[in-house]
Structure 1
Amino acid sequence: MFLDDFDFALPESLIAQYPRPEREDARLLVLRRDDREIRSTAFRDLGAFFRPGDLLVLNDTRVIPARLLGEKESGGRIEVFLVRRLATDGEEWACLTKSSKSPRPGTRLRLGVAIEGTVLPGGEQPYRHIRFECSGDFTAALEREGQIPLPPYIRRDADASDRTRYQTVFARSDGAVAAPTAGLHFTERTLDELRGRGVEIHPLTLHVGLGTFLPVRVENVLEHRMHHEPYVVPTETAAAVNRAKEEGRRVFALGTTTTRALEHAVDGQGRLRAGEGSSDLFIYPGFRFRLVDALITNFHLPKSTLLMLVSAFADREFVLEAYRQAVREEYRFFSYGDCMLIL
C-alpha cells in the first residue's frame, strides 16, 4: 500500500480560504456504499438521511489560540506554536518555534503584552519546551494574546471571524490545535432538527493535535506512525453507543477524529469503553470498523491519513471517484470547504 495510491488532482482554486457566509450553506456529497451511488445535495438536507433511533457522536474539543507572536530577549522576532501541555501543575508546553535563529535553553521570550516565556532544556526535534509566565490566569491571557492556528493551506492570517468560525458551535473542552472540521457546518438549528427526527446526540472529546497538519513522509503507508492525541469518552456516551449497537441502531460519527476515538476505545467484545486515553490509531484500508456505521466528514488533502481513513470506510476507488466528481462539480475543499456523508 503506497502513498501515491491516495493521490488526486486538485486545483488550488478549490481550496477554501474563508468559510461560506453561513455554516449551513455548505454542499453535501452523499456516498452510499451498498449500491455505490454518489449524489450531490445541500448540507441543509442532511436530516433527510437520518432515521429515528440513529445516534450521532460528535467531538466537543475546542481550538485554543495556540499561535503566539513576539520577540526574543535579543530583539529578534519569534513565532511560538503551542502543541501540548507537559505539566499539570504549571504552564510548560511542547512548542514549535519559528525565528531567524533557533532559541537556546535559557532564552527569554516576550509574547504580546502579558505573556513571557523561558526556553527549557529538553525536547526532541522539532519541538522546544517552553515555560510560560503571566500575571493572572494563563488561559485568559492566551485568549487575549494568541491567534487561532489556521491550517497551512489557508494562505492568510487569522482574523477576528476565525475565532468563531474555526470553532464548532458545540465546542466545550479546551485543548485542540485544529478544529474537527466536519462539525463546522452544524448549527443549533441542525442539532435541533436531528433531535426532532428522533436522533440521539452524544459528545466525546479528542484534542486534535499537530499531526493532522503533518504530511506522510514514507512511501510505504504501513510504515507511518500517528501522533498520540488525548481523548475522553463520557460514561453516558459509552452507554448510549453500546445500547444503540445492541438494538441494531446506526451510529453516525461526526468527523474522522470522532471515528478514531470510537474505534480506539472499543473493547474485545465490541463495546465502547468510557474513560480517558490517548490514541495513535492509524486507520487505513483493511481496517475493520467495530462501532461506526455512517461517517460525516469534510474533503481531505491528497496523500493524507484522513483520506486513508475515509478510504478504509468506503473503499479507496469509490472514495477517489467521489473526489473526482467533487472536483468536476467545483466543491470547496479542506477545513472551510464542503461536506461528505458516507452511508
Structure 2
Amino acid sequence: MTASNPRQLSIQDFTYPLPPECIAPEPLPDRAASRLLVSKQGTISDKGFRDLPSELPAGALLIFNNTRVVHARLLARRPTGGQVELFCLEPVAPHRSLELALQHAGQCTWRCLVGNGRRWKEGPVTLAFETADGQAATLWAERRVQEAGTALIDFRWEPATLPFAEVLRAGGHLPLPPYLGRPDTANDAVRYQTVYAATEGAVAAPTAGLHFTPELLAELPQKGFSIGHITLHIGAGTFQPVKADRMGDHPMHTEPILVTAPLLRQLLDHRPRPVVAVGTTSLRTLESLYWLGVTLLQAQNAAASPLAHPTGELLVNQWQPYELVDVAATISPEAALTALLAHLEAVGTDTLQASTQLLIAPGYQFRLVDGLITNFHQPESTLLLLVAALLGPDWRAVYDHALANGYRFLSYGDSSLLLPSSAV
C-alpha cells in the first residue's frame, strides 16, 4: 500500500454537526465512569471505560503520553488596573529547551499570546502571587517584540531564586480549551491532568488519558497487557482551526517529543504484536519515531547530518511521509527503531529529543500503531483527520453513532477504542 498525498483534501469533507449540548463542560466525578465506544473492523458497540481491558487486542502494548499541563495563562495588571492575559507558548531565551527554560530562575523570555493588550502601550505589567510555601512573590512582564499574532515577553520575578516552573504553578492558571468558555477551577487543577502525568510542558491535556484511574492502570498488566510512556508536550497549536480549504495550505504546528532508549527497545521487542496509542499525541509521537529513523538512515546513506531543526534536534516535517513513499518502502519499522537506538548510543544519551510537525490524514500508512484510544474531536480539525486516516470512511459511522446515542464530546467527554482490521 502506498500513501497518497493529502494536500488536495478539503477540510470541509471532514465535518459533522456538533450541537453545543453534546460538548461536556465538566469532568464526571469518577474518571473511569465515562462511556467507551468500541469500533472493531467497522462493527460498533457501546461499553463503559472500565470494560477497556476486555476489548483490547490480546497482548497489546499501550503507549501513554506522560506530559503534564503547566499553568500557562498569566493574568497580569497594567499600572491603571486593567487586566492583560499572557499565554506562554514557547521559551525563547536564555533556553529554547522547554525543560531547561522551566527550571531557569530570575528572568526569561517567552513567546506568548496576549489578550486585552490594546491598552498596554509600554512598561511592565505585574502579577502578585504567593508561592507554595506562602512567600509573597511578584512577576513583571514587558512586551519586547510583536509579530504574527504573538509577542516576545521578557519576564523577571522576585524572589529571583524561583524557577519559572514554580512561577507558573503558583501564579498561573490552567489553559482550559477555549470551547469550554469558563475559567479554570480547583477541580480542573486535578482533573485536567492524567493520573500518570510526570513531565511538565504541555498547554493542553492528553485527554484520552483522563479516563484512566490508578486501579485501571494496575489491572492492565494483570490482564497480560504492557505499558510504555512517551512525552509529547502539547502546544496551543492543537486548538488551531484549519482555516484553509485545502490541507496543502494549512501549516501544521510543531511539538517537542521525548522518548527514552528503553521505550524504543520495548517497541522493538514487542513487534509484531499490536500497539495501541492512548491518545492522538501518543499516536503522533509513535509514528514520528518511524520517520525519524528514516531520516537517520537517509543521512547515513548520504553521509549528511540528520539535524534539520533550528535547535539542532531531529525533525519530522508535515509532508515527509507523503514525499518519501518510495524510500519508506525499503525501510521496516524494525530498521527505523534500530537506527534511533544506534543514534542515541552514538551521541551518548539515553533520551531522544526531537520535534514533530507530522500531519496524519487519509492516505497515511501507519507503521507502528495498530489501534487508538481517543475522545471525540472537533469537526474540521486535524485530530479528526487523524481518526479518518486510521478508520477510513468508517469514521463517519463512529461519529454518527456517538451523536445519536448521547456520547459526550471533546476534552471532558467520553472515549472510544478504534481498532481497524489490522489490530483485531
Determine if the TM-score, normalized by the shorter chain, exceeds 0.5. yes
Residue 384 of structure 2 is aligned to residue 307 of structure 1: yes
Letter in 2 for 1:214: Q
Residues 141 and 155 of structure 2 are in contact (CA less than 8 Å); yes or no, is this contact kept in structure 1? yes
Aligned to 2:170: 144
1:112 aligns with 2:118: no
* Distance in 2, Cα, partners of 1:168 & 1:241: 23
User: Equivalents in 2 of 1:182, 1:322: separation in Å?
Assistant: 16
1:289 aligns with 2:366: yes
Measured after TM superposition, the shift of residue 310 of structure 1 is 0.6
Q: Give the letter for the 1:71 counterpart.
A: R
Change (3 A) 1:145 1:236: same
Q: Is the 8 A contact 1:43 1:339 kept in 2?
A: yes
- Is the contact between residue 103 and residue 119 of structure 1 (CA under 8 Å) also seen in structure 2? no
Is the 8 Å Cα contact of residues 258 and 353 (structure 2) preserved in structure 1?
yes
Is 2:144–2:154's contact at 8 Å kept on the other side of the alignment?
Answer: no
Corresponding residue number in structure 1 for 2:153: 130
- Tell me which residue corresponds to 1:254: 278
- Do the aligned residues in 1 keep the contact of 2:124 with 2:143 (CA within 8 Å)? no
What letter corresponds to residue 417 of structure 2 in structure 1? L
Shift of 1:144: 1.4
List per-residue Cα deviations over 1:43-91 (Å, max 9, x = no partner).
Answer: 1100002355321111000000111112123433211111111222552
Matched, 1:46 2:52: yes
Contact residue 145 and residue 153 of structure 2 kept, 8 A = no
Conserved in 2, the CA contact under 8 Å of 1:177 and 1:210? yes
Structure 2 unaligned residues grouped into runs of 5+: 1-8, 96-103, 130-136, 295-330, 342-351, 420-424
Distance 1:118 1:158, change over 3 A: closer
Which of 315, 318, 322 matches 2:398? 322
TM-score (normalizing by structure 1): 0.94
1:171 aligns with 2:191: no
* Greater helix share, structure number: 2
**Residue identity in the other structure for 1:231:** I
Determine what percentage of the aligned residue pairs are the same residue. 41
The residue number in structure 2 matching 1:70 is 76
Q: Distance in 2 between matches of 1:68 and 1:244?
A: 43
**Equivalenced residues, count:** 337
Match of 2:407 among 306, 309, 331: 331
Q: Which runs of 5+ in 1 are unaligned?
A: none
**Secondary structure of the residue that 2:46 maps to in structure 1?**
strand
In 2, distance between residues paired with 1:5 and 1:162?
34
Distance 1:7 1:112 in 2: 44
Letter in 1 for 2:270: A
**Matched AA of 1:133:** R
Give me the whole-angstrom Cα distance separating, in 1, the residues matched to 2:174 and 2:87.
10
Counterparts of 1:232-243 in structure 2, within 5 Å, are 232-243=258-269
Q: Does the Cα contact within 8 Å between 1:70 and 1:79 map onto a contact in 2?
A: yes
Counterpart-to-counterpart distance in 2, 1:183 and 1:6? 24
Whole-angstrom CA distance in 1 between matches of 2:119 and 2:270: 52
Contact 1:115 1:141 in 2 (8 A): no
Aligned-partner Cα distance in 1 for 2:114–2:165: 20
1:229, 1:280 within 8 Å by CA — same for their partners in 2?
yes
Shift of 1:8: 0.1
Give the whole-Å Cα distance in 2 for the aligned partners of 1:314 and 1:107.
52
Question: Is 1:22 matched with 2:30?
Answer: yes
**1:52, 1:329 → 2: CA distance?**
28
Task: Answer whether contact 1:206 1:258 (CA < 8 A) is retained.
Answer: yes
Task: For 2:120 and 2:288, locate their aligned partners in 1 and report how far apart those are by CA, in whole Å.
Answer: 37
Change over 3 Å in CA distance of 1:42–1:302 after alignment to 2: same
Q: Distance in 2 between matches of 1:41 and 1:139?
A: 39
Asked if 2 retains the 8 angstrom alpha-carbon contact of 1:205 and 1:233, the reply is yes
In the TM superposition, residue 142 of structure 1 has moved relative to its aligned partner by: 1.7
